[in-house]
Amino acid sequence: MTGDRGPGKVHLVGTGPGTPDLLTVRAAKLLRNADVALYDSLVSPEILALLPETARKIHVGKRRSRHTLPQDDINHLMIELARKGARVLRLKGGDPFLFGRGGEEAEALAAAGVPFEVVPGITAAVGVAASARIPLTHRALAQSCTFVTGNLRDGTMNLDWPLLARARQTVAVYMGLMGLPVLCAKLIEHGRSPDTPAAIVQQGTTPQERIVIGSVATLPAMAEAAGLRAPTLILIGEVVALRDALSPDADGHVDTVS
């Protein structure tokens, strides 16, 4: 791993929303030349297949409360591998600096004096919305877009509900499948119309993509009936209604992209 290349380096690489086609050129180049890859659960097998056969692959992913490695251990592992001279890729779904703990890991690397680079990726909200043909903003319907995480803690969500309930905006919710009933109930409680269009997309941009379209009032029951599973992205706002016009072959409820 060391050879004559001098000290190692860590690259915090965003791998985008799923499909390898949406990798940046920079990310694809780094994948082909890595010594070690520490990858999250949302990094697809197709992207991992781009790594050299000689590269060491270490799964450090997190799914809800199940963590392969605690965050402090991940930080320590990156630092130790780089100090041994390795070209280390820390592969993350979406973008490292948007709900990806990239900021925490960059802090740890900087404090340890380890050289690092952040390679941005297409974040899930942008990639999934484009794949589902739902604009995040629209001059007539949504003049802002808010990204939030929907993880439940003790059965509740600690979000700025008055802000999220405002009209003429799009709300993109990461990791919100389990908390979808709470999310929608809280939005209605704080003044968002129950008829506000809403969508949930499973495995967006991949061949397994499934889309459920409803309203804030109906989406939780529709998602449960469809049997959706993580990873998902939730989109709430008037822009969701545009999908019918932009997707003439869609049935407006559930469709699987083949």
Note whether 252 and 130 are same-domain residues: yes
Domain count, the chain: 2
Does 233 lie in the same domain as 136?
A: yes
Q: Which of 216, 223, 211 is nearest to 254 (CA)?
A: 211
Mean pLDDT of 186-195: 97
Give pLDDT, residue 103. Answer: 97
Do both 167 and 109 map to the same domain? Answer: no
pLDDT of residue 155: 72
- CA–CA–CA angle 76, 230, 169 (5° rounding): 100
Which residue among the candidates 35, 40, 92, 95 is catalytic per the annotation?
40
pLDDT of residue 5: 57
Q: Which residues pair with residue 156 across a beta bridge? A: 153
Do 147 and 252 lie in one domain? The reply is yes
Instruction: Based on the fold, state whether residues 104 and 153 are members of the same structural domain.
Output: no
Query: Which burial class, exposed, middle or buried, applies to 45 when counting CB atoms under 10 A from its CB (0-12, 13-18, 19+)?
Result: exposed
> Which residue is listed with tokens 């929303």?
17
Q: How confident is the model at residue 258 (pLDDT cuts 50, 70, 90)?
A: very low
- d(C-alpha 189, C-alpha 29), whole Å: 48
Predicted confidence (pLDDT) at residue 253 exceeds the cutoff of 70: no
* Residue 44 confidence (pLDDT) above 50: yes
104 shares a domain with 27: yes
Chosen domain end from 119, 137, 169:
119
Do residue 141 and residue 223 come from a single domain? yes
Tokens of 57: 């692959």
129 with 185, same domain? Answer: yes
Do 155 and 237 have their domain in common?
Answer: yes
Q: pLDDT of 92-113, one tens digit each?
A: 999 999 999 999 999 999 999 9
Give the active site residue among 9, 57, 62, 84: 62
In a domain, 204, yes or no: yes
Interatomic CA distance for residues 235 and 199, integer angstroms: 5
- Per-residue pLDDT band for 247 (boundaries 50, 70, 90) equals confident
> pLDDT tens across 148-178, in order?
999 877 777 889 999 999 999 999 999 999 9
Q: Is 232 exposed, middle or buried (0-12, 13-18, 19+ CB in 10 A)?
A: buried
> Does residue 17 surpass a pLDDT of 80?
yes
56 and 156 in one domain? no
Whether 29 is a known active-site residue: answer no
Is 3 contained in some domain? no
Share of the chain above pLDDT 70, in %: 91
Q: Answer yes or no: 40 catalytic.
A: yes
pLDDT by residue (tens digit) across 50-84? 999 999 999 998 765 555 789 999 999 999 999 99
Of 119, 153, 174, the one marking the end of a domain is 119
CATH of the domain at 195: 3.30.950.10
Cα separation, 101 vs 174, in Å, equals 14
152 and 246 share one domain = yes
Give the pLDDT mean for 30-48: 96
Over range 246-258, report the average pLDDT: 53
Q: What is the CATH number of the domain that holds 32?
A: 3.40.1010.10
**Domain-ending residue, one of 82, 99, 119:** 119
Instruction: Tell me, yes or no, whether 59 and 143 share the same domain.
Output: no
Residue 35 has pLDDT above 50, yes or no: yes
Tokens encoding 200: 């949930």
Domain that holds residue 105: 9-119
Asked if the structure places residue 1 within a domain, the reply is no
The neighbour count for residue 223, using CB atoms within 10 Å, is 24
Distance (Å, rounded) from C-alpha 113 to C-alpha 254? 49
| Predicted local distance difference test score (pLDDT) of residue 2 | 47
Report yes or no on 4 lying in a domain.
no
